[in-house]
Each structure stands twice: as structure tokens, then as C-alpha cells.
Amino acid sequence: MEVVSQNRSFGGEQVVYKHSSNTCACEMTYAVYQPPQAKDGPVPVLWYLSGLTCNHENAMTKGGFQEHAAREGIALVFPDTSPRGENVADDEAYDLGQGAGFYVNATCDPWRQHYRMYDYIVNELYSIIAETQPVQDRHGITGHSMGGHGAMTIAMRNPDKFESLSAFAPIANPTRSDWGRKQLSAYLGDDESTWAQHDSTLLLEEHGWKGDVLIDQGSSDQFLDLLKPEALADTMAKRRQPGQIRIQPGYDHSYFFVQTFAADHVSWHAERLLQ
């Protein structure tokens, strides 16, 4: 485990790590923010999964989460969005390949060797955080866009590992969206029956979620037709799933949107993780 950088932030420490991943068969980078309360003992942890084209650094530097995490006394984990390196398969398009892992375990060539982001988050990095960081066994998860998709599908498939769930403008119904069908067919093949476990609308319809859910979506999001929040809202209503989808007037898909509601999400998770 190599420390890439370490910075003081709101009384806590923002650290970036690099390690050799057995799951992704390449070097991976991730970031952890430890609030000042971690000096006195283990704290709960909130995972943030980023969207297309991002890595660990985007939300770490643009999201504004550290101030709120320091106030609430919870740690933050910022993983990368895909495997990377010269020998890792890639694509010329921004929405496939490096920076676009979609939080699935690829089963098709040329992706299957490295693109195992689901197992990386749920098993390998989850264990590394538990073993190396002063954190409690109390995990929440959130994310933006592709990362919102990842947060929701990972939480609903692993309710034993995550206590709280929220998302910023998630890709809510990828099996019915061009942000989803392209990637799922490339990574998993053309058998659409294998895609359902990576669609939060379908997972919610079949399994529900053990707690409530918080979703923020900008009304002026330029990708609204690709995100399909209405599909998730309809399913929540049909299942009577506790939670809320807040349509925020005038906000787009950028980190300005994420920054604006970061405090709400951190406080919302803290209320559930600090019980």
C-alpha cells in the first residue's frame, strides 16, 4: 500500500493510496478522508462512487464533502471508476472502457481480465478499508450518475454490508437507456437476463431496500432522458418504498449540483449510521 498524497482538511486527513489489486489485476488508486473524530476511535464510513470519465480525485476535490464529514464525524471513501493502465482494455468513446467501469464484473473479452469493479468495491476494497482504516462496521453508500447506479445496485444486492443509501442523478434504469445498454452488452454480452442485477429500478421492483432512500435530481440535467428517474419513481410508488426523489429546480448534471446538496446527503447518512 503506497501513500500517494496526504493533506490536512477540516481538522482531519485526506489521503490517497495506491495498491496492487488482485481483483482487477492492475494497480488501483483510491482516497480516504478521516474526520478529526477518528483520532478518538473508529467512525462510520460513507462511500462515494463517481460517474463517467471520473477517477478518485473528482469528488475528492470538487464535491465539497470533507467539511460536512468532519462536522458529522464520518469517514469518506472515494474509489476509482475503473481499472487503468497500458495493458488494460480501453475504448475511444468516453462512456466505455477506462473511466467507465459501470461497477460490474465483465464476462466478455477484452474486458473480463480487468473490469471487475463490482467485486473490487464489494469485496477487495471493502476489506482493505475495514482492515486498514479506523472505521466501524457501519457503511453507507452514495454516488453520482454512473456512480449513483453503482451505489444503488451494490447496496440493494448487499444489504448486509451497507446500512444507508442515497444517490445524485443516478442512471436509474440502464437496461432501458443508451447509458447502460451499450455498456452492459459490451461487458456482459447480449443475454439481457444477466443485466437485471445491474439495474436499480429492476432490483428495487424485485427486492426493495431495507431502509429509506434519498435521491436528488436536477430538473435542468442535460442527461435527464438517459437517467430515467421517472422509472425509479414509479417503482418506488408501486412498492411503497420509503424514501424520496427530490427534483431540484434549475440544477444540471455538474459538480455544482453535487456540491449544493452534499451537506444534505452527508447529514442524512450520518443520522442513519450514528444511531
- Give the distance from CA 226 to its chain's centroid: 18
Bridge partners of 217, per DSSP, are 247
Q: Of 114, 144, 253, 269, which residue is the catalytic one?
A: 253
C-alpha cell at 247: 427534483
C-alpha cell at 47: 462511500
Helix (H) or strand (E) holding 46: strand 43-49
Alpha carbons within 13 A on the beta-carbon side of 41: 2
Active site residue 221: yes
d(CA 92, CA 127): 33
Q: Of 9, 50, 145, 200, which residue is the catalytic one?
A: 145
d(CA 96, CA 105): 14
User: 229 and 172 in contact (C-beta within 8 Å)?
Assistant: yes
d(CA 163, CA 274): 10
Active site residue 145: yes
d(CA 168, CA 143): 6
Q: How far is CA 104 from CA 69, 154, 174, in A?
A: 28, 9, 12
Q: Of 80, 199, 216, 221, which residue is the catalytic one?
A: 221
Active site residue 219: no
CB contact set of 219 (below 8 Å; sequence gap of 6+): 247, 248, 249, 250, 251
For 140-183, the DSSP string reads EEEEBTHHHHHHHHHHHH-TTT-SEEEEES----GGGSHHHHHH
Q: How far is CA 226 from CA 102, 146, 222, 231, in A?
A: 15, 11, 9, 11
Q: Which residues are annotated as catalytic?
A: 145, 221, 253
